[in-house]
Structure 1
Amino acid sequence: MGPRAGDRRSALLRAFQPGHVLSSPANPQRTHQRTVAPLRHDHADRARLTARAENGSAGVRGVLFDFHDTLVYAGSLAAWVADGGGWDIAADERERVLAVLPDAWARAAARWPGSFWDLSPAEHRRAFTWILQEDGGCSPALATSLYDSMPNQWQLAQGVAPLFTRLCRDGIRIGIVSNIAIDIRPVLDQWGLLGQLDAVVLSFEVGMVKPDPAIFLLAAAAIDRHPAECLMVGDSPAIDGAASRVGMRSLIVAKGDAGPRLDAVAPLCGLTPT
């Protein structure tokens, strides 16, 4: 973590003491934000929201989503290998690669705890390709090609687009907070989702990774909501569930045959029926 990221993290954690509320400028056009405005003091608002969170009456006014295995998932692994140029490799090598691809990042986390690779595009690439080569016996050229073709394999989870539309309709702000070192905005734009987002908070841009409490505070500020008004939606109890440490509610999504299931989000947000 660089000096500027460290200073921001310290400021966020200091501000999340009694007597402070995080905020950033409103975003009426719901376009993604890269920066967060200075924090402001508001004792009464902080006390009110904290009390409502403790007795369970604080409504959800902002939803923060994880990205991978929450909003998107990898499609056909065989198609990914073919897309990466591995259609002509030996059958035994293909099987080894296919066995490692689904949990490459979990293997990286076990090998190098701390998710440091999510802070640097170069380290992100290196961690992925190293795992494929060491654990899957993948050639360096194929490992690099598979990394480069990764965004092409992402498929939008079922129901994301209508869910975003309903959240926007009901005035609930939407953000993404992801441990990743790839800019996901172009893909979101292709899907027509970028304009519905109030913030996109990516670990490699802000110098923090989940489960650090500071990145959740930063994300709440970026969508102009108090943490007690936010719901964090993700796939990892340890990583995304850590949002509870700053007073957010969290929802860990189940995985079905068609990818992550987000059907529990709308009821938790009190959305009106379609």
Structure 2
Amino acid sequence: MTVRAVLFDFSGTLFRLEQDESWLEGLTDSGGRQWDLEAQAELMRRLTAPVGKVAELPEEYQRAWEERDLDPELHRKVYLEVLRSSGVTEQEQAEALYARLVDPDCWTPYPDTEPVVRGLHEAGIRTGVISNIAFDIRPAFDRIGVGGLFDAVLMSYLEGVIKPDPKLFLRACERLGVAPEETLMIGDSAEADGGATEVGCEFALVEPLPTSERPDALLRAVAEHGVRL
């Protein structure tokens, strides 16, 4: 396979939501104790998990959960409920945490995000992003100087379709002007991002580890598919 294009997921692949210690200041559990590091990590996992059920939600929130990445209002509604059911019972605190979730300036890039995107661009390989998301992530790319290097950015809430629906991968390939068989999809979810294989793309799985623990997974992913940068 000759790779002519690379598609990336956003959360857990190019960027990761990593809280500042101040984000959870004042949060206490039902016994009045400050949240420990394990509880904080679990909360952040629930806010960023790409697939699966992250909390027990009332029936009225089921549709909102299933369609959260198609509608910003549903996204806000269901994640405030996820925070509430996870123990963030103060509305003001829940609102503040949600505001950080949807603020692209609060997301941290992986160390090799900028080098890989820039290297692919300079090598003449088309690049794009496919994200199941309900807010505009493009300012995050602009912040690290790669916003103008992507040939397409597809966000589910604007496209009206979510991964792993084959239509989204085919749409991305069409916008890049490449065949799926010439395209590599890189993501942290075999279920969502791995759906690209159904249309003929290659797929590389990366782990959504903390950015300090994953310095070169993107570089290795493209290298393993014959792209040396």
Q: TM-score, normalised by structure 2?
A: 0.83
**What residue number does 2:165 align with?**
212
| Structure 1 residue ranges without an equivalent (≥5) | 1-57
Instruction: Provide closer, same or farther for how the CA distance between residues 139 and 268 of structure 1 changes in structure 2, counting only shifts above 3 A.
Output: same
How big is the shift at 1:192? Answer: 0.8
**What residue number does 1:32 align with?**
none
Matched residue SS, 1:209: coil
**What residue number does 1:74 align with?**
17
How big is the shift at 1:228? Answer: 0.8
User: Matched residues in 1 for 2:208 and 2:98: separation?
Assistant: 23
Matched residue SS, 2:86: helix
Report Cα offsets for 1:27-83 as digits up to 9, x if no partner. Answer: xxxxxxxxxxxxxxxxxxxxxxxxxxxxxxx311000000000001122x352xx24
CA RMSD of aligned residues (A): 2.4
Q: TM-score, normalised by structure 1?
A: 0.70
* 1:175 and 2:113 are equivalent in the alignment: no
Counterpart among 188, 191, 202 of residue 249 in structure 1:
202
Counterpart among 41, 57, 62 of residue 5 in structure 2:
62
What is the letter of the counterpart of residue 4 of structure 2?
Answer: R
Paired residues of 1:108 and 1:127 also in contact (CA < 8 A): no
Give the aligned length: 211
Compare CA radii of gyration and give the structure with the larger one: 1
Paired residues of 2:17 and 2:44 also in contact (CA < 8 A): no
After superposition, residues 128-167 of structure 1 pair within 5 angstroms as 128-150=79-101, 151=103, 152-167=105-120
User: Matched residues in 2 for 1:169 and 1:59: separation?
Assistant: 17
Report Cα offsets for 1:76-119 as digits up to 9, x if no partner. Answer: x352xx24xx4234463634962422223449841548741000
How big is the shift at 1:255? Answer: 4.3
| Structure 2 residue ranges without an equivalent (≥5) | none
Instruction: Provide closer, same or farther for how the CA distance between residues 108 and 170 of structure 1 changes in structure 2, counting only shifts above 3 A.
Output: closer
User: Matched residues in 2 for 1:207 and 1:130: separation?
Assistant: 23
* 1:270 and 2:223 are equivalent in the alignment: no
* 1:88 and 2:29 are equivalent in the alignment: no
